[in-house]
Chains A and B, each alone.
Chain A
Amino acid sequence: MLTIMYNPDLLLEQNTKTLKMPTPLRVLILQNQPSDAQWMLAPVRQAGYEPRCQQVDNQKDYLRQMESLPDLILVDDGPQDLCGNRALSLMRQRGLDIPLIVVNGAKDHQAVVEAIRQGAADYLVKERIHELGHAVQRALADKKRRDQRKRQELEQQTIVTHIPMGLMMSDDQGTVQWVNQEMAAMFDLSPQAMVGKNWYAIVPAMEEHRKIHDRVFIGEAMEFFEARIPFPEGDRYFEVHYRPIADEAKKVLGMLTMAQEITKRKRTEAKVKQTYQDLKRSEKMLAKALADLKMSHEELKATQLQLIQAEKLESVGRLAAGVAHEVKNPLAIIQLDVDYLSKNLTFEDENTSMILEDIHHAVQRADSVVKGLLNFSASGDLVTSPEPLEAVIEGSLVLVKHELDRWHINVVRDFGASLPRVKVDRNKIEQVFVNVFINAIHAMPDGGTLTVRTRLERLGQMDPNLGDREGNKLRAGDTVVVAGVEDTGTGIPEDQLSRIFDPFFTTKPTGKGTGLGLTVTNKIVELHGGMIEIKNRNEGGVRVRVMFKAHKEK
């Protein structure tokens, strides 16, 4: 059952507005006369306590009662063999910290000093016993503070001991002053084995951090340093933080080192990095494979286009051969009809003569188209022999001499000296150059210069769209004899350059060209395993390059 003790004095004294329950207080009183105890307890009650007392008068009882851990010990003079100091020392021996107040009759300064020095909470002379309440309050408060401090120390000690981080304190020379278990374990040592030793002697690799340590000793906190420390089983990695330990005047007394092993993390990082790099490499390879695939696809597409084009030309050729006969027969009839009528006009009529002349020309035009188609379809039959290319060119120039003179075209020859021969069907290649020359001549209606060069060249990287892809065709690195034909004419519109080899494509006015000249020319050159290139010259006019593999003389 609870007893509420109402004490107006206490309330006054504590100057509180709330009603307070007295604090129970277990008191061990050590005195000669047990009956004397009550007079001491009045001021204690006044201070808000409800003392429960055990009185003892000998050491044996004192020690027994102490085991129940009283809140307070009061020593009233004490028995002869158990003075205040003796009581204190007995308590300390048991490792206890119970506030102990000495109450004494004598004003013995020496005894006061000695008792306080020994650790008594207070020392009161009996005439000031009314102050015992305050003394108890003070002693209990001190005890509470001590307990708190102890608890904090214990907590800190626990943290320092159990934190999974190496901690060490060292001086400016690197002498280890204190080290925790974790840190010592990192180096397979005990803390005792490390204290007093030089840190740089224990871990020579830390020499690398000396400059950082110097900065710590002028008061800087340094964080996140990585240390690689060699161990017999391999390198281990640590993340290290340094803090100066400074007094209130900021004088640096030592350095706190905090270290955490990150070897696992490093290895994982390295693995991740490696994996990332592998991934990157795979990605690159994939990209390259994709690019290759794309290129193959493009090449395939180009080849397909070429095949389609070749197929188209073949069809045109076959069709032409088939149709030619059917067209030529009626043309033959018309031709002879016109012949006959021209010679047997029964009346003089200018218009009739003119019309007959026109029919004659129309027949010739139609015939030349059919002839071109037949040439195209028949160009496959080659009779080749090694020929000097200049001689073939000269042959063609003879065939177009009439046209050159008619259009006032000057011919410049620039033939390379002692070039190898080329293996060609002479008639066919003459036809090639005749076609090229005729085109050049038609491009220079107001006269001009036709330049013909021959040179020996080594083929560089080839445009994949040029030439054929089959075995006997030209490749990069081949030695070729090149015939260059340049005119000073009108040039070819750039947008039409890609179509110049198409059948029936012509830039000439109707009737002037069949649109088959370059188609046949290209086909003949290709059949020879050669190559033809047609480009506009920067200076104006067109440059045609016809090239054949140089014949290897045996």
Chain B
Amino acid sequence: MGKKRILLVDDEPSFTRVLKLCLEKTGSYEVREENRGTMAMATARQFKPDLILLDVVMPDIDGGEIASGIMADENLKDTPIVFLTAAVAKDEEGVISGHPFLAKPVDTEEVIKRIEKSLSDT
């Protein structure tokens, strides 16, 4: 079985860079970073990820809008989305617009656990 393709959309390059390193280190994932929210759709269409990790609060466009766009896209609509956000206080996993989310800060194990769960659900 090949590596799962993960698209990281977050306006913080330092965050996407280290998360990419952490995930790829496991050898199970191929990760693409996208730091411009407005480019998220285009990158997704081109990269065709197995899962998208999506920041919520970004300068030009928010994660919810991007999620709606993906859901509306014929080719992408089945791609699982996991929100990553600094805007909530909850420790446990929750749901934003029908998608699960992880509260920042988060460690690698949590992210992997969440990714695997979402991938196995689809």
* A residues adjacent to B (C-beta < 8 A): 324-329, 331-337, 339-340, 343-344, 363, 367, 370-371, 374-375, 378
Which residue of A is nearest B109, CB measured? A339
Taking the closest CB of chain A, its distance from the CB of B98, in whole angstroms, is 19
Q: A residues within 8 A CB of B91?
A: 371
Interface check B25, CB cutoff 8 A: yes
Interface check B22, CB cutoff 8 A: yes
Question: Whole-angstrom distance between the alpha carbons of A327 and B107 in the complex?
Answer: 16
Q: Are B12 and A333 in contact (CB under 8 A)?
A: yes
Interface check B88, CB cutoff 8 A: yes
Taking the closest CB of chain B, its distance from the CB of A156, in whole angstroms, is 113
Which residue of A is nearest B18, CB measured? A336
Interface check B3, CB cutoff 8 A: no
Question: Whole-angstrom distance between the alpha carbons of A176 and B78 in the complex?
Answer: 133
Q: Are B105 and A332 in contact (CB under 8 A)?
A: yes
Q: Which 10 A-B pairs have the closest CB atoms?
A: A328-B86, A374-B89, A332-B104, A335-B105, A332-B105, A331-B105, A336-B18, A325-B86, A333-B14, A339-B108
Taking the closest CB of chain B, its distance from the CB of A298, in whole angstroms, is 38
Q: Which of A336, A339, A344 has the most CB of B within 10 A?
A: A336
Question: Whole-angstrom distance between the alpha carbons of A367 and B25 in the complex?
Answer: 26
Q: Are B89 and A331 in contact (CB under 8 A)?
A: no
Q: Are A375 and B89 in contact (CB under 8 A)?
A: yes
Q: Are A325 and B14 in contact (CB under 8 A)?
A: no
Q: Are A325 and B57 in contact (CB under 8 A)?
A: yes
Which residue of A is nearest B89, CB measured? A374
Q: B residues within 8 A CB of A331?
A: 86, 104-105
Q: Are B22 and A324 in contact (CB under 8 A)?
A: no
Q: A residues within 8 A CB of B42?
A: none
Please name 23 pairs of A and B residues whose Cβ atoms are closer than 8 Å in the assembled complex, sorted by A.
A324-B87, A325-B87, A328-B104, A329-B12, A329-B15, A329-B86, A329-B104, A331-B104, A332-B12, A332-B15, A332-B84, A333-B12, A335-B104, A335-B106, A335-B107, A336-B106, A339-B18, A339-B22, A340-B21, A340-B22, A367-B105, A371-B91, A375-B89
Q: B residues within 8 A CB of A367?
A: 105
1/0 contact trace for B16-38 toward A, CB 8 Å? 00110110010000000000000
Taking the closest CB of chain B, its distance from the CB of A398, in whole angstroms, is 15
Question: Whole-angstrom distance between the alpha carbons of A324 and B105 in the complex?
Answer: 11
Question: Whole-angstrom distance between the alpha carbons of A329 and B13 in the complex?
Answer: 11
Q: Are B18 and A340 in contact (CB under 8 A)?
A: yes
Contacts beyond the supplied A324-B86, A329-B12, A332-B105: 17 A-B pairs with Cβ under 8 Å: A325-B86, A328-B103, A331-B86, A331-B105, A332-B12, A332-B104, A333-B14, A335-B107, A336-B15, A336-B107, A339-B108, A340-B21, A340-B108, A343-B25, A363-B105, A370-B89, A378-B89
Contact of B105 among A325, A328, A344 (CB under 8 A): A328
Q: Are A324 and B89 in contact (CB under 8 A)?
A: yes
Q: B residues within 8 A CB of A363?
A: 105
Which residue of A is nearest B19, CB measured? A336
Q: Are B86 and A332 in contact (CB under 8 A)?
A: yes
Q: A residues within 8 A CB of B14?
A: 333, 337
Question: Whole-angstrom distance between the alpha carbons of A324 and B25 in the complex?
Answer: 30
Q: A325-B87, A343-B25, A374-B89 are in contact. Are A337 and B18 (CB under 8 A)?
A: yes
Q: B residues within 8 A CB of A327?
A: 86
Which residue of A is nearest B86, CB measured? A328
Question: Whole-angstrom distance between the alpha carbons of A340 and B16 in the complex?
Answer: 13
1/0 contact trace for B35-57 toward A, CB 8 Å? 00000000000000000000001
Q: Which of A326, A333, A344, A371 has the most CB of B within 10 A?
A: A333
Q: Which of B15, B25, B103 has the most CB of A within 10 A?
A: B15
Question: Whole-angstrom distance between the alpha carbons of A344 and B21 in the complex?
Answer: 10
Taking the closest CB of chain B, its distance from the CB of A523, in whole angstroms, is 14
Q: Are A339 and B86 in contact (CB under 8 A)?
A: no
Q: Are B18 and A333 in contact (CB under 8 A)?
A: yes
Question: Whole-angstrom distance between the alpha carbons of A374 and B87 in the complex?
Answer: 9
Question: Whole-angstrom distance between the alpha carbons of A527 and B12 in the complex?
Answer: 37
Q: Are A332 and B106 in contact (CB under 8 A)?
A: yes
Contact of B25 among A326, A334, A340 (CB under 8 A): A340
Q: Are B25 and A344 in contact (CB under 8 A)?
A: yes
